[in-house]
Amino acid sequence: MESKRLEDLNEKSFKEAGIDKAILVFGSCESHGGHLPFGTDTFVPHDLGIEVARRLEKTVVVPPLWYGMSLHYRHKPMCISLTNETLTLVIKDVLKSLVYWGIKKVLIINGHDGNIPCIEAAARDIKLEVPDMGIAVLDAWWMTIGQLLPPDTFEVWEGLGHGGEGETSIVLATVPNLVDMSQANGMIPDMDPVVKLIWNFQELTDYGASGAPERGTVEKGKKMRRVLIDYLVDFVKRMDRQGWRFEKKKA
Ligand SMILES: [Zn+2]
C-alpha cells in the first residue's frame, strides 16, 4: 500500500498520486500526567489523520508539528513550547506552502487545546488571502467526541480532561506500549459552564492530568478512534461533493 505520509513520498510518487488534499496535524510536547507520553497530542491526531487519508483519494498527511503552544502546561516536565505568535506564523507558512503547490483543500486535525486560537487566527488570515481555499478544522476532538458517542460511554466528567478518561482511552488504543496505567492520576476542577476562567494548568489539578485517567480503557479508546475516523472520512467526502463550501438555502 502506498504511504499516506508526505515525508515518505518523492517527486515521482507525489505526482503520480495526484494529491489535491492535505491533512495537517498540530500537536504538542508536554506532560499528560505520569501515565501518558509527552507526544500524546501528536500521536493521537496523527494516527487519526493517517487512517482517514487511507480511506480517501488523492490525500496526503503532511509531517505533523510536534510542538504547540503549551506555556500553560510548563510547570511540569517536559514542556517544549512555541509562543502564540510563533505557532500562528508556522501554521500560516505551512498553509501558504500548500497553496503554492496547488493544494487548496485542507483538513486540520488538532491535538492540543493551546493550539486552537493560533489555528483559528492563521486559518482566517489565509482564507482572506486565498478565498477559494477550503480549510476545515477539527480543533478539539476531545470535546466533539462526546456528541458522536452514546452518552453513557464515559463514566466521569463526560470523559473530559487533559490525560483524562477519554484521552487516556484513545492513547491506549493508539500507542498502548507508551501508557503506564500504574501512574494514572487526575483531579476534576469545578469549572463554570458558561463563563471561561483563563487558567494555568496547575490551577485545575495537582497532577499532570485532569479528569479521571484511571477510568480509561482500550475498549473506549477503540470506539472513539473508530467514530472519529468514520466521521472525518464522511465529512471530507461530503466536502468534496460540495466543493468545500456550505450548502445554503432560504428557511
Ligand atoms: Zn495538550
Cα distance between residue 155 and residue 158, in whole Å? 7
- Is position 111 within any domain? yes
Residue-wise pLDDT for 20-77, tens only, equals 999 999 999 999 999 999 999 999 999 999 999 999 999 999 999 999 999 999 999 9
Quote the CA–CA distance of 185 and 164 in Å, as a whole number: 9
Q: Is 70 exceeded by the pLDDT of residue 240?
A: yes
pLDDT tops 90 at residue 231: yes
Task: Tell me how far the alpha carbon of residue 211 lies from the centroid of ligand 1, in angstroms.
Answer: 14
Distance 146 CA to ligand 1 centre (A): 18
User: What's the total number of domains in the chain?
Assistant: 1
Q: Which cell goes with 213?
A: 485517567
For residue 115, report the distance from its CA to the centre of ligand 1, in Å. Answer: 9
Question: How far is the centre of ligand 1, averaged over its atoms, from the C-alpha of 132 (Å)?
Answer: 31
For residue 250, being part of any structural domain is answered with no
**How far apart are the C-alpha atoms of 3 and 9, rounded to whole Å?**
7
Question: Ligand 1 center to residue 153 CA distance, Å?
Answer: 22
Confidence of residue 1 (pLDDT cuts 50, 70, 90): low
- Residue 41 Cα to ligand 1 midpoint, Å, equals 5
Q: Are 81 and 68 in contact (CB under 8 A)?
A: yes
pLDDT tens digit sequence for 87-123: 999 999 999 999 999 999 999 999 999 999 999 999 9
Domain presence at residue 248: no
Separation of CA 38 and ligand 1 centre (Å): 9
Ligand 1 center–CA 19 separation, angstroms: 30
Whole-number Å distance, alpha carbon 100 to ligand 1 midpoint, is 30
Interval between CA 114 and ligand 1 midpoint (Å) = 7
Whether pLDDT at 179 is above 70: yes
Asked if pLDDT for residue 245 goes beyond 80, the answer is: yes
Domain that holds residue 232: 6-241
CA of 47 to the centre of ligand 1 (A): 16
Mean of pLDDT values over 153-178: 96
Residue 115, Cα to own-chain centre: how many angstroms?
Answer: 9
Task: Please report, for the domain that includes residue 228, its CATH number.
Answer: 3.40.50.10310
DSSP structural state of residue 160 = -
Dist. CA 203 → ligand 1 center (Å): 15
pLDDT tens digits for range 138-148: 999 999 999 99
pLDDT at 191 over 80: yes
d(CA 113, ligand 1 centre) in Å? 6
pLDDT of amino acid 2:
85
User: What is the CA(108)–ligand 1 centre distance, in A?
Assistant: 16
3-state helix, strand, coil in the chain (%, to 5): 45, 10, 40
- pLDDT at residue 204, rounded to an integer: 96
Contact in structure between 184 and 214 (CB atoms under 8 Å)? yes
Residue 246 counted as domain residue: no
Q: Is residue 14 included in any domain, yes or no?
A: yes
Residue 182 is predicted with a pLDDT of 98
Q: Is residue 249 situated within a structural domain?
A: no
Residue 247 lies in a domain: no
Residue 1 belongs to some domain of the structure: no
Lowest-confidence range among 145-149, 215-219, 224-228? 145-149
CA of 207 to the centre of ligand 1 (A): 14
- Tell me the CA–centroid distance for residue 237 and ligand 1, in Å: 29
Calculate how far, in angstroms, residue 32's C-alpha sits from the geometric centre of ligand 1. 7
